[in-house]
Amino acid sequence: MDPDVLRILDVNLNRTREALRVIEDYARFVRDDADAAAAAKRCRHDLRDVIAAAGADNLLAARDIVGDVGRDFKTAHELARQAPDDVVRAAFARASEATRALSEYGKLISPAAASAAESLRYRLYELEQRIVLRGELRQRFRGVRLYVLVTEALCRRPWLEVVEAAIRGGAECVQLREKKLPDREHLRRARQVRDLTARHGVLLAVNDRPDIARLAGADIVHVGQDDLSVRDVRRIAGARMLVGKSTHTEAQFEAALAEMPDYLAVGPMFPSATKPQAHIAGPSTLAAVRPRTELPLVAIGGITADNAAAVVGAGADCLAVSAAVISADDPEAAARALVACVPVSRG
């Protein structure tokens, strides 16, 4: 093998590996995002495919620190960082450049190595969006214990009053779930809830409609099994918005994981008058899928303060409810009782 090519591969493997360690530590210690940290770690380990193609010993033997004419050249910008966000952005830029070099020079030694480097570069593009664009929202969502779905028809009091009462009771995320409203009215209500949730520092989700969510400035779009894919939602709503997906079986859960949502809902946990279904996933399904991801898991369907302990015990990070709060005589008290069932999360 050409020793010059090996030197180029060696230095860019080192750049990539070092940048990924910086990214992993940011995800782990700054954002407390176990899912993103694990993704960075997998990328770092997958560099082994490129190393194996060149030969680890060959790369090491080609390394020439003393003879590297660019070793001591540093720009003023390269030596200045103001915050951890600057550090991670620089690390992603470095990793992107290095993996491009690996894919180009890797073609000289192994098509498989070049392909592995190219695949890694595209994975880093997605991971950068996950960490840099959505990192703060993802961190906020991991702190959500109660997620209240609001449909006017189920509210015993004026619907916007119910939203405010739920927030006072501790709901940290509110989803506007209206299936039959005309678009103009749907958007008007979404903007009303956005104003209210923004004042209280609460997340806003919109069910099914990435267009309404984007126009209203929502934080989250939530989709079901028959709705748009996560990828298509991002094309409409943009890469900054969180996307959650509902699942009802283990097979659906595995398929949804491959779409790379920001959280997954599992349910129904119990029979629900709000959304009757023939198949009840139950806490057992939640317990079965819990070890398969570091993403937040939202339990939904028939949950009340009386049965919430079983759901939390099965691995739920968050409880999603509708009638249990919005149909209650005292939505604030109902919300408070449910929040008390969920331990404070690491987020």
All structural domains of the chain, each given as residue ranges with its CATH number in brackets, are: 3-133 (1.20.1260), 137-339 (3.20.20.70)
Evaluate the omega torsion of the peptide bond into residue 268 and state whether it is cis, within 30 degrees of 0: yes
> What pTM value is reported for the model?
0.92
CB atoms near residue 336 (< 10 Å): 18
Q: What is the spatial distance between Cα 315 and Cα 343, in angstroms, rounded to a whole number? A: 11
| Rounded distance between C-alpha atoms, residue 157 and residue 180, angstroms | 20
DSSP per-residue codes, 163-214: HHHHHHTT--EEEE--SSS-HHHHHHHHHHHHHHHHHHT-EEEEES-HHHHH
| Selection from 2, 345, 330 nearest residue 168 by Cα | 330
CA–CA separation, 77 and 56 (whole Å) = 33
Q: What is the pLDDT of residue 71?
A: 62
The set of catalytic residues is: 177, 246, 275
Which pLDDT does position 347 carry in this prediction?
47
Count CB-CB contacts under 10 A for residue 123: 16
Strands in 44-154 per DSSP E: 146-150
Distance, CA of 340 to CA of 146 (rounded, Å): 9
pLDDT tens digits for the chain (347 residues)?
Answer: 788 999 999 999 999 999 999 999 999 999 999 999 999 999 999 998 888 888 888 888 888 776 666 666 666 666 678 899 999 999 999 999 999 999 999 999 889 889 999 999 999 999 999 999 999 999 999 999 999 999 999 999 999 999 999 999 999 999 999 999 999 999 999 999 999 999 999 999 999 999 999 999 999 999 999 999 999 999 999 999 999 999 999 999 999 999 999 999 999 999 977 667 778 999 999 999 999 999 999 999 999 999 999 999 999 999 999 999 999 999 999 999 999 999 986 44
Can you tell me the distance from the alpha carbon of 329 to that of 215, in angstroms, rounded to the nearest whole number?
A: 33
